[in-house]
């Protein structure tokens, strides 16, 4: 699903955020990306999301090198992946339903598809009863569940999440990761950057550890290791 070769990212200020990253992620894997602050986790996730281009190297996703997409192809690529942010990024004055529906409207879904798929996504994240609430009336955990529903409503085969539990308490964090696990079990590949040792240790998923822009460890059924700090 994802094949990264000789990936380097040097920001305009000269910071070398990623150094010769080589990485393959298979369809339907669940991968945690861990490492100290500044290790390059967000840079890697954002490059996979094609938010910007790397300095050099290839990133093949769905069998296409996304570093070579034409400008007009980029929005189409982005619509094929689900993105979950640490800070939710919801439309505060819109309802839960509208927030999720919006992700379908931008891809040109019909009203009929929206009426069918939004409730399905809300059910998946256990928010059926709150569809008419305004986003700003929800708790942090509920807002993140809306964000998850928005990420899955178009049925993407890849979900990227950068510290989705970074602003949540431990119990709520666990709920969010269990939902991501359920989404993964239903067939989506999930890549999640996190600092949450408890969660990484309990889930027994693949763990990629970054340090100063390099992959220093890549373990199946791994744990959060202290080298990360």
Ligand X SMILES: Nc1ncnc2c1ncn2[C@@H]1O[C@H](COP(=O)(O)OP(=O)(O)OP(=O)(O)O)[C@@H](O)[C@H]1O
- How far apart CA 80 and CA 222 sit, in angstroms, is 28
Structure tokens given for 56: 């050099």
Considering the complex, what minimum distance in angstroms separates the CB of residue 152 from ligand X?
23
In 3D space, the residue among 201, 147, 151, 186 whose CA is nearest the CA of residue 27 turns out to be 186
> Would you count residue 15 as binding ligand X (CB under 6 A)?
yes
6, 11, 51, 185: which one binds ligand X (CB under 6 A): 11
Q: Which residue has the tokens 């999720």?
A: 100
Task: Select from Mg ion, ligand X, none the partner in contact with residue 48, using the beta carbon and a kind-dependent cut-off of 5 to 8 Å.
Answer: none
In 3D space, the residue among 216, 102, 93, 76 whose CA is nearest the CA of residue 229 turns out to be 216
Q: What is the contact surface with Mg ion in residues (CB under 5 A)?
A: 41-42
x/- track of binding to ligand X for residues 19-38 (CB under 6 A): ----------------x-xx
Considering the complex, what minimum distance in angstroms separates the CB of residue 97 from ligand X?
31
**Quick one: 28 or 167, whose CB is closer to ligand X?**
167
Structure tokens given for 36: 């100290």
Task: Select from ligand X, Mg ion, none the partner in contact with residue 57, using the beta carbon and a kind-dependent cut-off of 5 to 8 Å.
Answer: none
Task: Select from ligand X, Mg ion, none the partner in contact with residue 39, using the beta carbon and a kind-dependent cut-off of 5 to 8 Å.
Answer: ligand X
Considering the complex, what minimum distance in angstroms separates the CB of residue 122 from ligand X?
29
* DSSP, residue by residue, 153-205: TT--SEEEEESTTTTS-HHHHHHHHHHHHHHHHTT-EEEEE---HHHHHHH--
21, 25, 31, 41: which one binds ligand X (CB under 6 A): 41
Question: 206: how many CB neighbours lie within 10 A of its CB?
Answer: 18
Query: Which residues here bind ligand X, judged by CB under 6 A?
Result: 11, 13, 15, 17, 35, 37-43
């Amino acid at each position: 699903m994802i094949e990264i070769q000789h990936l380097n990212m040097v920001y305009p200020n000269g910071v070398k955020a990623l150094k010769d990253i080589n990485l393959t992620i298979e369809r339907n894997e669940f991968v945690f990306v861990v490492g100290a602050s500044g290790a390059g986790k967000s840079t890697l996730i954002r490059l996979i999301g094609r938010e910007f281009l790397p300095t050099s190297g290839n990133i093949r996703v769905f069998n296409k090198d996304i570093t070579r997409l034409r400008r007009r192809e980029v929005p189409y690529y982005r619509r094929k992946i689900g993105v979950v942010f640490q800070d939710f990024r919801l439309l505060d004055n819109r309802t839960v339903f509208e927030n999720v529906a919006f992700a379908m409207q931008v891809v040109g879904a019909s009203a009929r598809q929206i009426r069918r798929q939004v409730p399905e996504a809300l059910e998946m994240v256990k928010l059926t009863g709150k569809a008419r609430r305004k986003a700003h009336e929800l708790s942090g955990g509920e807002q993140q569940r809306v964000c998850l529903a928005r990420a899955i409503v178009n049925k993407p085969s890849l979900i990227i999440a950068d510290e989705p539990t970074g602003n949540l308490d431990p119990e709520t964090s666990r709920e969010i990761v269990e939902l991501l696990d359920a989404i993964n079990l239903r067939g989506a590949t999930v890549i999640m950057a996190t600092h949450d040792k408890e969660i990484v240790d309990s889930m027994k998923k693949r763990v990629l550890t970054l340090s100063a822009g390099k992959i220093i460890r890549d373990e199946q059924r791994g744990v959060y290791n202290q080298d990360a700090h």
